[in-house]
Structure 1
Amino acid sequence: MRDTNHPDMTCADLLIRLLRDTYQVDTIFGIPGVHTVELYRGLHDSGLRHITPRHEQGAGFMADGYARATGRPGVCFIITGPGMTNIATAMGQALADSVPMLVISSVNRRDTLGRGQGRLHELPSQQQLLAGVSRFSHTLLDPAGLPEALARAFAVFESRRPGPVHIEIPIDLFDAPVAPPTHWQRPRLTPPAPDATAIQEAATWLRTAERPLVLLGGGCVDAPVAARRLVEGLDAPTVTTINAKGLLGRDHPLDLGANASLPAVRRLANEADVILAVGTELGETDYDVVFDGGFALTGRLIRIDIDPEQLARNHHAALAICADASQALNALMAHFPEKRERRGAERTRAALDALGLKQDPAFTEYVPLFATLAEVLPEAILVGDSCATTYAANHLVSQPAPRRFFNASTGYGTLGYGLPAAMGAQIARPDLPVVSLVGDGGIMFTLPELACAVEERLPLVILLWHNQGYEEIRRFMDAAGVERLGVDIRAPDFQALAAGFGCAATRVGDRDGLIRALTHRPSGGPMLIEIDAAAWADAVARA
């Protein structure tokens, strides 16, 4: 990397310097290409860690996992054209789940943009294409404007509803000379604070409620102490959505989990006279995953969200407060220093008992699976694809802290997320074990990332539930009376594939085998544990 005080500092030099020193970025996910050679000139000696996935979609999912595990934006360097269409799916998932991600890409020379000359990697408008899966997409036309473009990106990450931001740099600008900015300081940004009068009104409604209910979403993950103290002060049953799992700690007596789509929790919602919803979209994949429109709120709804538009979506709010969830939770918490007795724990326990999840035939075979994980790896981050084990985990799993459970079954609902996102989480949190929950169908979307996991010596566990195809879609086809087609797919030999990548692997069919595999997993690389779903179900039935 060039001396940043030298007058011939380039735009690429400035970018790396700003990311590293001003915004404390430590990791870049990217695949070099002809168009980004100059971007990489100074990266080798910059001190930034570069991770090379095997597909740009994998880069985006890794950045997503990194961001969810830490709260810091994941950063990608991506080439023009196909690199950007490849990463668009990952950006779509991050947009749906409000995950901060910075995607820096190349684009063709400024004098060729929009001219349709058949240039390498040319798109009619790369910026317009990516605008639909980002909070904003910006084309840099002057290297002097780079500090401002990055400041805008981090303003999105820090003071409004986060999501992906795309900044494209024409290839003729990477080595263009630029004067270093006069000031390198990071702009000080604060998210919107709650209106004190509105908080007072919300507190009054909650104080006089007889049957309050709290709904906490992923926007609350940075305020676990305030969230826990507030719901305890309210003595209110609380739904923690999939992205809020762990917010109240493991097995909290007021935690209904992510079960808002199930009958007993829906009854609580329908009977609640005041509902407090914080940092949650109140969207379909959290509250109506059975897709029957049966989640109803008849009481007075208080909504708190950093996004003013979200306050007007899905459910009508009697009181809508546009504010940062963490600040709002802390402000509300101060109004309830002592617990108000309203049989909250009793009502929560009654609802969970009525659900009977551990005895439900739909979940029975997964109960020992997650009991084993909690026993052997109690502090693990669980990262799921859209697969059977993830769907069960959404209902069954309780985590000790937030940012230790996330998956692609919500929002955008993409396949192929589980493995690379778990890798990103492991890179971000080497102090914690990470388990990737994947199926034999979904893992085929991003299986080549196993090579990257081996290369980086990531000690993650890949728990592959092998049920011979797309089980979820099979069930939907059967229920709809549609003849099965395209769902009973042939799987490869995963043990042989893992060996080819240099990854430790084993196949298990019961709890004892899983315990042995988890206990003796390698510390210097990934391990693929393939669970024969049919053999596992037989072992559970015999137990």
Structure 2
Amino acid sequence: MKNRDRETHLMTGGDAIVESLKAQQVDTVFALPGIQIYGLMDSLARNSDAIRTVGARHEQASAYMAYGYARSTGKPGVCAVVPGPGILNASAALLTAQGCNTPVLALTGDVESGYKDRGRGQLHELPRQLDMLKSLGKWAEHIEQPCDAPWLVARAFQEMQSGRPGVTALQGGWDYFTKSAHVAPVDPLPLQPKPPVDSDAIERAARLLKAAKAPMIFVGGGALNAAAEVRELAETTGAPVVSFRSGRGVMPDDHPLGFNVASGARVWPQTDVAIVIGSRFELLDIGWNYRPQGLQLIRIDIDATEVRRLAVDVNIIADAADGALALAQAVAAKGAPARRDGQLADVKASAAAAVGQIQPQISYLQVIRDVLPRDGIFVDEVSQVGFTATFGLPVYHPRTFISSGHQGTLGYGFPTALGVKVANPHKAVISIAGDGGFMFAAQELATAVQYGINLVTVVFNNQAFGNVWRDQQERFDGRVIGSELVNPDFVKFAESFGVQGHSVKTPKEFRLVLEKAFAADKPVLIEVVIPRGGDASPWTFLRPTFPEV
């Protein structure tokens, strides 16, 4: 890229950041204004023709919207909030984004420069705030002067998109954002080079696969941009592709080799070679907590630090697409394992039949899948329906199943879905939540109306934190505490914000209302009434037990 004109221009610290965001082709910022960042907000107001600013009623929602924007597109999301309690409110969302390897930039303020590190108790002062931001994500810095902003913004985008994506943050003093100085622009920095594929490691992996009788592939969020290459590897090896949460859709669930955790668990005990692509492989030690005898592991991951976290037989440090393609080509040249298509088809069918017993969740998910377009986006939540969706909702494209990953952040879903819809205004987007999780950010219905975010939100109301209630009933002799909920009338609640509201009690009613909701071109909330304790437990499929073989 050619360097732009290096002539300096007099601008405020807020302008220096906004001009740098424009250079990075940012088109949306999710923000909640406050006195420490007035200069930044004013610059966004003056540049509203280039950058849309979407407000919120809580800092956490601003950051979750940025996460949803980034997760559903692969492009960086940006949020801006005040320091201290503001950035702490946003921190749960930033932690979620970091855990899900999603590029999000958080912008925040700090105390005035003259009070920094003096502990004088200026408004929103948070001791060692920068250390906190560094601990949450990949990289964070303090901007001292407006002239520093273009370089630091460029560094923030380079860091959050290079290698394993993640969260970056920039803070400036209260006075920084309105201070004027001469500033020179900085071009976007190139991403750090991807590691070259190790041909020797590929050769060793291909040898293992040639001798394999029952290989399996596992994909996580690191494989979201490698769908074509993963499919080629799967079809070359005949290995089923299992995804848990973040990797859903990398291999379409209606492909013969597209497996979920329910069907994958049924062939896991016989697996002799596992290929793990862009995943922490949580299933091995936590979800399934079972390792077949003699199992050999091949890992493809761009993050070299993962080598220390899981002992494997062959490590391929590479971009997921590059590594998967190189391995597919090597297997094709060396010889592929014997096919077992018939066996795998039988496994998928038997698993689907068993999953169908998780009611009423599966019946409602079937309605969603029937009505939601193939490329529509489903945003889950920590709820009985959300847990069931990880194996009970077929997914066909990457980035169309959004979750909070291993963070399991209760209440993340609705505000995240607002950001997803902002980023994908012409796609159908559905947010599902339990009554407990929805109320974490229910006030953001106002945001949906104010900014015309035409999201369809489904609240499954069982008047409980359902998982906690079940655990207290089954594991603690029914001593229920804090898990039974009293809720508003959700229809009237939605209508009070100007949102169209509906309440249904059966999948048949739900289908009729959901079809109309997607056609309404306005925010819609649908309450699904379920008796407390009326949800079947999905945990048989999420934490299965394995017989000794």
The TM-score with structure 2 as length reference comes to: 0.90
**C-alpha spacing 1:508/1:265, structure 2 compared with 1 (3 Å):** same
- How many pairs does the alignment contain? 525
Distance 1:146 1:38 in 2: 14
Tell me the distance in 2 between the aligned counterparts of 1:142 and 1:451: 36
Kept in 2, the 8 Å contact 1:64–1:94? The answer is yes
Partner SS, residue 463 of structure 1: strand
Report Cα offsets for 1:433-472 as digits up to 9, x if no partner. Answer: 0000101011111111111011122221101111111111
Q: What displacement does 1:38 show?
A: 0.9
Render the CA deviation track for 1:288-329: whole Å, top value 9, x for unaligned. 347xx335574211111122222222x421111222112212
Q: Which residue of 2 aligns with 1:531?
A: 528
Match of 2:341 in 1: 345
1:175 CA drift (Å): 2.8
User: Could you say if the C-alpha distance between residues 297 and 337 of structure 1 is closer, same or farther in structure 2, counting changes exceeding 3 Å?
Assistant: same
Secondary structure at 2:369 match in 1: helix
In the alignment, which of 113, 117, 127 is matched to residue 114 of structure 1? Answer: 117
3-state secondary structure, aligned to 2:46: coil
Quick one: which of 148, 153, 156 aligns to 1:145? Answer: 148
What amino acid does structure 2 have at the position aligned with 1:252?
A: H
**Among candidates 65, 70, 73, match of residue 68 of structure 2:** 65
How many angstroms does 1:149 deviate by? Answer: 2.0
Matching residue's letter, 1:390: G
The whole-number CA distance in structure 2 between the counterparts of 1:152 and 1:351 is 48
Aligned residue number for residue 543 of structure 2:
none
Distance 2:293 2:278 in 1: 17
Query: What residue number does 1:484 align with?
Result: 480
Partner secondary structure for residue 193 of structure 2:
coil
TM superposition shift of 1:354: 4.5
Match of 1:392 among 388, 394, 404: 388
**Given that residues 139 and 169 in structure 1 are in contact (C-alpha distance below 8 angstroms), is that contact kept between their aligned partners in structure 2?**
yes
Q: 1:519 aligns with which of 500, 515, 518?
A: 515
Which residue of structure 1 lines up, in the alignment, with residue 217 of structure 2? 214
Could you tell me whether the CA contact under 8 Å between 2:30 and 2:53 is conserved in 1?
yes
1:255–1:348 Cα contact (<8 Å) kept: no
User: What is the rounded CA distance, in whole Å, between the counterparts of 2:186 and 2:443 in structure 1?
Assistant: 43
Q: How far apart, CA to CA, are the structure 1 residues paired with 2:8 and 2:297?
A: 58
SS of residue matched to 2:526: strand
- Aligned twin of 2:451: 456
Q: Is the 8 A contact 1:241 1:257 kept in 2?
A: yes
Distance 2:16 2:120 in 1: 30
Match of 1:319 in 2: 314
State the match for 1:198 in structure 2.
201
Q: Is the 8 A contact 2:161 2:191 kept in 1?
A: no
The alignment yields a C-alpha RMSD, in angstroms, of: 2.4
Shift of 1:276: 0.8
Where do 1:282-301 residues align within 5 Å?
282-283=281-282, 288-289=286-287, 293-294=289-290, 296=292, 298-301=294-297
Change (3 A) 1:43 1:251: same
Of 427-436 and 246-255, more deviation after overlay is shown by 246-255
Task: Tell me which of 81, 88, 92 is aligned to 1:89.
Answer: 92
Alpha-carbon contact 1:270-1:298 (below 8 Å) kept: no
2:127 paired residue number: 124
Task: Kindly report which structure 2 residues correspond to 1:208-247, keeping only aligned pairs within 5 A, or say none.
Answer: 208-247=211-250
Aligned equivalents of 1:297, 1:152: Cα separation in 2:
46
Pair 1:357–1:490, CA change in 2 (3 A): farther
Kindly report which structure 2 residues correspond to 1:96-107, keeping only aligned pairs within 5 A, or say none.
96-107=99-110
- Residue 329 of structure 1: aligned partner: 324
Distance 1:36 1:199, change over 3 A: same
The residue number in structure 1 matching 2:139 is: 136
Distance apart, 1:163 and its partner CA: 1.5
Change (3 A) 1:296 1:62: farther
CA distance change for structure 1 residues 229 and 454 in 2, over 3 Å: closer, same or farther? same
Equivalent in the alignment of 1:303: 299
Q: CA deviation at 1:534?
A: 3.3
Task: Give, in angstroms, the shift of residue 340 of structure 1.
Answer: 3.9
Post-superposition shift, 1:473?
Answer: 0.8
Identity among equivalent pairs (%): 30
Letter in 2 for 1:30: A
| Segment of structure 1 superposing worse, 170-179 or 217-226 | 170-179
**Structure 2 gap ranges (5+):** 536-549
Please, which of 402, 412, 435 is the counterpart of residue 406 of structure 1? 402
Distance of aligned partners of 1:171 and 1:490 in 2 relative to their CA distance in 1, 3 Å threshold: same
Matched residue of 1:106: which SS? strand
Would you say the 8 A contact 1:505–1:527 is kept in 2?
Answer: yes
Q: What secondary structure is seen at the aligned counterpart in 2 of 1:60?
A: helix
1:364 aligns with 2:365: no
| 2:462/2:533 contact within 8 Å kept | no
Distance 1:504 1:323, change over 3 A: same
Residue aligned with 1:137, SS: strand
TM-fit CA distance, 1:73: 1.3
**Post-superposition shift, 1:287?**
6.6
Match of 2:34 in 1: 33
The corresponding residue for 1:416 is 411
Q: Aligned residue for 1:541?
A: none
Taking the aligned partners of 1:181 and 1:258, their CA distance within structure 2 comes to 52
1:273 corresponds in structure 2 to 272
Query: 1: distance between equivalents of 2:105 and 2:22?
Result: 13
